[in-house]
Structure formats: structure tokens, C-alpha cells
Amino acid sequence: MSALLDVERLEVGFGGRTSAVRGASLTVERGETHCLVGESGCGKSVTALAIMNLLARGGHRTAQRLTFQGEDLLKLDDRGMARLRGNAMAMIFQEPMTSLNPAYTIGSQMTEVMRRHKKVSQRVAIDRAADLLGQVGITAPGLRLGQFPHQLSGGLRQRVMIAMALMCEPQLLIADEPTTALDVTVQAQILRLLAQLQRDLGLGLLLITHDLGIVARIAHRVSVMYAGEVVESAATAQLFADPKHPYTQGLLRCVPVPGKQRQDEPLGSIPGTVPRIGPGFEGCGFRDRCTFADATCAHTVPHQTAAPGHDYLCRLAP
Amino acid sequence: MLRFLFRRLIVALLVAATVMTLAFILTRLSGDLAISIAGPNATAADIEAVRKAYGLDRPVLEQFLDWVGRAVTGDLGNSYFFQTRVSTLIAERMPVTLTLGLTGLSLALLISIPMGILAAVRENTNFDRAVQMVALIGQAMPSFWLGLLLMIVFGLSLGWLPISGTGSWEHFVMPGIVLAFSAVPALTRLTRAGMIQAMGSDYIRTARAKGLSRASILLKHALRNAAIPVVAIAAVQLGFMLGGSIVIEQVFALHGVGFLAWESIAKNDFPVVQAVVLVLAVIYVALTMVSDLLNAVLDPRLRA
């Protein structure tokens, strides 16, 4: 059986000037949590939006393969894509404060998506909404359904977004940095909730984050993105134990590990920022920041396999 | 919500009081009222008689308080020229002006909201640029000129529509269009800007992520938010139209409140002038309050 979501050599460009995603490939299996990590501006969100076909105006996607449940998403028109979105594949965003429509109640926005995709009465939809609000840990769901977004805190709004995404029992949930805008205490709660829902409902979760602590705890598989490419992908334990790509190694050095980190040892950092890359770029996108790079890195970026299911893009190592 | 309403009411009353004062002062500043009422051939004795008869010999403050006291109870005094109660005069003329104003506003909304939405959906296309150009021309065109132009084309050359009077609904078509034209540019641009902003917002991305239909995304989710400033301005525009119909009523010889104001100014019938200014101001203030209320209905954040 094919993977739940299969993305191969996805390219996203904006108006021919910027290449935001350059041949990224990833798969999400049923019941799997796949984390997409990398620093800001490396193309994680654009990848997610491209999968959902929600790119902003001017964004254009191409891919060698883009299938969901075996269905070719590239061949679907807007109507066909709308039939899947919110239904079999759902998405939650980075900005809980602004992602709900200020003019409608929570209940109206939650029931709307279910009534769009399933033939159910308003009564059934409301009951389902109240039930899900309870499941995501919101007390007094009945009260919340009648409230407007501005009456809820950021953490509550993100819980509402999650509950809303689950209304139609999706097979795939894409969560784009769902906790970035929230307080640290709330962040942990939301991620624990996502991990638990993923287990309970058995859905495929594509979680975009730059919090490696979270990744270590809940991901089955990790893909590291840099400058629009997936530079390394492996099962979580494998990646943490044996990172191959210099960027992955750099990222892991930036995270303090209690017990392993010596008090006097400084925490790592990667100097510089993600470059803006236009069409026609060749070689390794990381070479300007890489301590191992030499002249050959401007030409060849071989695809290597360290172990079954552990791939990376670098001419160096192992 | 109650506090919000209460605050608005206080402000509205203050505005009304200010307008009353200004209306009174401005009519007094236009010269010696007794001389102008008595006419060019009056003797000094006639003028004195007029001054006494109309109570213009009393201290100004007393005249003012007397007028305010009566106006508050609904007594706007008597017209010197028509020799009837001012309130009756205004009540007779008001339906014409209201019909004209509501026709103008309805036409304006019917034109500008769809145009604004389409221009926003096709942002930066030729259609969008054409709409903006039309809006610009509309803004720059004086309404009396457009009125005369329409009269020549549709009234005189084609003979489709009557050019003056208030006999039938056809009489209101051209004046309504002219009045609408003055409001269309602002409303269109506001709708367009609001829709562009809404369509770029996170909640529209959410609506798309939910797989909603295009109609629902545009009309239910985006327009609802884009409409908030449009509604506010539309209510205020209606106020402008009612007050500003003086020119149009003159051009099309519609005997409404605007026409009455013009007549009274020409004849120095100052109780009527004062009263018309006051009534229009009160309507304007009331419409502003209505617009605030409509905003609160549309935007739940304002209800807190």
C-alpha cells in the first residue's frame, strides 16, 4: 500500500525570482508523526502550504509526485482539492490569534466545515464540535461554542483550531508550528495534546517545528530542511544518534541536553542566515555556512544513504 | 453595550446643541434680519414694526433661549414667507428628499459593492484598473454638471425620462443616479480595499484550508469583515446625500427640503433656514449613531 502522503521532488517558486522549495521529498505513513525541522525561512511552511495547495498569490508548485491516499493532487482542480481540504486532510497554522474569523462564533466556524463535507444536521455537527472541544481539553464546551474568537486566549484559540481540524476525522493533519505564538507552558500542553490525539485517532501527522526537544519526544520520523531542500531524513532515534549532514549536526549542537552537556562547554550555534536562493542555483545551499565545505560543494550534491531509511544530501561523510 | 450606546448618545446630543447654536449665530451674522424681511422699499417705521413683530428687538441671548426652548419641544416657529408652521413645511417636503436620498444610496450600494468585490478579486487586472478609473472620474465630476448632462441626453435628446418635478418614480431616476454617483467612488474603493485586506488575512486561509466553497469564502467570510467600514460610511453618506441634495433638487426642480432651504435663504426666511439646518443635523447625527450600531452588529469585538 502506498504512503498516506507521498511528496517527491516538490518545487515551489514565487514569480520566477525566489525558489522557496527545491526538490523536497517526504512521505507520511498512516499513523505516523513526521516532523519537519529547520530554521526560519528554509521552506517548511511553504512545503506544507504547497501540499494543501494554499500557496499565496504568485506561488507556483510543481512536483514529480504528489499523492494523498494514492490520489494525484497535482491533477485535482480547485473544486476537487476543496473536497479534500478540511475533510480528509486538515491543517492548523502558526497564528492562532488571527486564524479564526472574528465575525463568527466558535460554534458556527466549527460546524461549518463538517456541514460542508458531511451530510449531517446542525444538531449533529454541534454535538460533535462540543465533544471535540472537550477532547482538546476545553472546559465548558457549550459556553465556548457561543463565544467569539476575541473572547478566547491564544492557547484556547489554538485548541479550537485543532478541534476544528478534527471535525471531519481527517487521515492527515498538517500542523505548521502550532505553538510558536504561544506561551511556553501552553506550548507543551498543545504538543502533548497533538501527540496524544495522533495516537488515539491514528492519524498521520506532519508537524512543522524548530523545537528539537519536541521532535525527540513525539516524532517517528524527522526530515531536516535547509534552503528549500530536505537535507536529511531518518527515523528519530537514528537521526539523533547519528546525524550525517553538517547542518543537522549543527542544529543538534544548538540544543542543550541535560546530563550530557558539560557546564563549561558553550552551546553551539550556526553562524549566518539561510540564503535567498533564486532559480538556477547549483551546489549545496549550506556551503557558505559549512565548516567542511570546499570548492567541490559548488557543483555536486550527492544523495547518500547512511542506513535503510536514512538519507542525506552531502558529498562529505560518512 | 449599554455604556457604549450611552456614550454615543451624549456625544450626539452635544453635536446637536452645537449645530443649533451655530445655525442661530450664522443667520444673525447674515445682516439685520428686520431690514431684509421688510424689503428694499420699507421705511424706517416699517422696519421698526417688523423688528417688534418678530421679536428681533429683544436681546440676542433671549431670542436664542426662546428658540431653543421651543425647538426642543418640537415647535420650530413660523415661516415669514409661507406664513405657516415651519414644522409643517419641513414635514411636507421631507418625503421627497428622503425618497431621493434612499434611492441614491441604494443605487450607490448596488453598484459599488459588486464592483468593489470584483475589483478586489481581480486585483491589478485591467478590470480593476478600469473600476478605479471610473471611481476617480466619479469623484472629480461635479454633480450639477452630471445632472445637466443626463438631462440633455436622457431627458431632451432621447426623451426617456422626465427632467423635472416629482410626479412619478421616473422623476427620481436621474436625480438618484446623480446622487449615487457622488457616493459610488468612496464606497467602491472602500469595498475593494476591505476585500483585498480580508482576502489576504489568516482567517481566509483557514476558510480555504477548510475546503469551503469560493462563494462562502468571498461572501460569508471576507465580505462580512470588509463590509464593516462600508456600512459605517454608507450611513454617513446618506446624511451627506440628504443635506447635499440642495444642488440636485435645484437642478431637477424637486420640491424637497433642499429646495426649501434654497428658497428660504433667498427670501431671508431665517426661521426656516435655522430649522432646516437643525433637522438635517439631527438626521446626520442619528445616522452616525445608526452606523455605530450597525458596526456593533457586524463586529462582535465592538460589543464588549
Q: Which CATH class name applies to B95-253?
A: mainly alpha
CB-CB neighbors (< 8 A) of A90 in chain B: 209
Residues ≥6 apart with Cβ < 8 Å to B128:
B119, B120, B122, B192
pLDDT category of residue A260 using cuts at 50, 70 and 90: low
ipTM confidence score: 0.89
Condensed to tens digits (0 to 9), the pLDDT of residues A22-72 reads 889 999 999 999 999 988 888 899 999 999 999 988 889 999 999 999 999
Task: Tell me the whole-structure pTM to 2 decimals.
Answer: 0.83
Residue boundaries of the structural domains of chain B: 95-253
Which amino acid is present at A141?
A: P
Tell me how close the Cα of A62 comes to any Cα of chain B, in angstroms: 20
B112-149: string of b/e by CB count within 10 Å (b at 16+)? bbebbbbbbbeeeeeebeebbebbeebeeeebeebbbe
CB-CB neighbors (< 8 A) of B216 in chain A: 112, 116
CB-CB neighbors (< 8 A) of B300 in chain A: 102-103, 148, 150
CA angle B211, A222, A76 (to 5 degrees): 25
What dihedral do alpha carbons B210, B216, B219, B223 form, nearest 10°? -10
pLDDT of res. A259: 64
Kindly report which listed range (A164-168, A226-230, B1-5, B128-132) carries the lowest average pLDDT score: B1-5
pLDDT of res. B7: 83
Q: How many CB pairs under 8 A join A and B?
A: 77
Say whether the peptide bond before residue A149 is cis (omega within 30 degrees of 0): no
Distance CA B146, CA B138 (A): 9
Beta-carbon count within 10 A of A257 CB? 12
Please, which residues bridge with residue A89 across strands? A85, A172
CB-CB neighbors (< 8 A) of A54 in chain B: 205, 208-209
For residues A137 and A159, is the Cβ–Cβ distance under 8 A? yes
Place of cell 483550531: A161
Residue boundaries of the structural domains of chain A: 5-88+171-313, 101-167
Q: Which of A45, A99, A101, A106 to mutate to test the interface with B (most CBs of B within 10 A)?
A: A101
Tell me how close the Cα of A164 comes to any Cα of chain B, in angstroms: 9
Task: Find the CB nearest B300 among A54, A87, A102.
Answer: A102
CB-CB neighbors (< 8 A) of A78 in chain B: 214
pLDDT of res. B172: 84
Average pLDDT by consecutive 10-residue portion of chain B (304 residues)?
79 86 81 74 81 80 84 80 85 89 92 93 90 86 85 84 78 87 90 94 95 94 92 86 81 86 84 86 86 84 74
pLDDT of res. B206: 96
Q: Which of B122, B206, B212 to mutate to test the interface with A (most CBs of A within 10 A)?
A: B206
Q: What percent of chain A has pLDDT over 70?
A: 96
Task: Find the CB nearest A86 among B211, B225, B298.
Answer: B211
Minimum Cα–Cα distance from B225: chain A residue: A103
pLDDT of res. B275: 87
Q: Which of A49, A54, A99, A148 to mutate to test the interface with B (most CBs of B within 10 A)?
A: A99
* Higher local confidence (pLDDT), A74 or A288: A74
Architecture of the domain defined by A5-88+171-313: 3-Layer(aba) Sandwich (3.40)
